[in-house]
Amino acid sequence: MKISLSIAAQDRLFSKAIRRVRPNFDELFDAFCQVEITNPIHEAILIGLTDSELKAELFNIIEQAVQSCPFTNSDKKRFTDLLQEWKPKLI
């Protein structure tokens, strides 16, 4: 499972800020790719980010995106566990 992050920013400062924050999430995104799911339903989770969100909000958006995907219970638990492991590292 891949996470794809798309940024839509009108503010140049936001774009610079997201370039500083984004590397903090690269290992999490790589870890998502390593999760072995039993019933793959999707190839990727696509997340759009605008000027109004930053680091904590990005993590919350990722959590919501995972919860919104119709994974089987066992697969959803794998991603939920992964996110709970990473939350203290990122927020």
The predicted-structure confidence for 26-76, as pLDDT tens digits, reads as follows 999 999 999 999 998 888 999 888 876 677 888 999 999 999 999 999 999
Structure confidence at residue 56 (pLDDT):
83
CA distance 86 to 91: 9
50 neighbors 6 (Cβ within 8 angstroms): no
The pTM assigned to this predicted structure is 0.69
Return the residue matching tokens 């959803």: 76
Mean pLDDT of 73-86: 95
